[in-house]
């Protein structure tokens, strides 16, 4: 009778740790290009993100970020959004800049980016709350890195401080 042989394993060979997927509510960004889909997750701890292999994309690192003010039909895809950038605002959608569009519900936005080989269409939906989005339909604004960060976190890009009249105390 033949005995079953045990596989040979080097004793000091480091085993590759298994990557675990964070909970679904930590889905930060879903990227789709052709038939490839890449989901980017984030935890509350950046060190944990680095160690676990999950990445975070800072839109400002891709290029100048522009916000397309007003309401955009979110059913539009890459070609429709690029046409808005080119025809309505006379900007070059192939310039390697990021253009951000928001729909009427203001709880989600799309970002359009040309990387030199193809377009990226990024989509983000806020689970709780809505964004404060500029209303002027005929305007595109360049955002600073701080404003992009505020927008990604769901804050207003134009913090307003209400002024009040001075009043007398007694």
Q: What is the pLDDT of residues 130-151, one digit of tens each?
A: 777 887 877 888 999 888 888 8
Model pLDDT for residues 29-70, shown as the tens digit of each residue: 565 555 555 555 555 455 554 455 555 677 878 889 999 988
pLDDT category at 23 given cuts 50, 70, 90 is: very low
* Close Cβ partners of 113 (under 8 Å, ≥ 6 residues apart): 59, 62, 63, 96, 97, 98, 99, 119, 120, 122
Work out whether strand 27-33 and strand 36-41 pair parallel, antiparallel, or are unpaired.
antiparallel
Q: Is the pTM of this model over 0.75?
A: no
How does pLDDT run across 97-130, given as a tens digit for each residue?
Answer: 999 999 888 888 899 999 889 999 999 888 887 7
């Amino acid at each position: 009778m033949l005995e079953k042989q045990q596989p040979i394993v080097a004793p000091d060979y480091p085993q590759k740790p298994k990557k675990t997927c964070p909970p679904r509510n930590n889905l930060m960004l879903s990227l789709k290009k052709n038939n490839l889909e890449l989901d980017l997750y984030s935890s509350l701890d950046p060190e944990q993100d680095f160690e676990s292999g999950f990445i975070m994309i800072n839109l400002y690192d891709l290029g100048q970020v522009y916000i397309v003010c007003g309401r955009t039909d979110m059913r539009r895809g890459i070609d429709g959004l690029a046409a808005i950038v080119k025809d309505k605002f006379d900007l070059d959608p192939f310039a390697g800049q990021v253009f951000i569009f928001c729909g009427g519900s203001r709880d989600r936005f799309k970002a359009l980016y040309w990387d030199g080989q193809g377009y990226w269409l990024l989509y983000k939906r806020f689970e709780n709350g809505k964004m404060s989005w500029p209303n002027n339909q005929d305007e595109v604004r360049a955002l600073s890195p701080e404003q992009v960060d505020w927008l990604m976190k769901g804050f207003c890009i134009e913090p307003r401080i209400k002024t009040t009249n001075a009043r007398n105390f007694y």
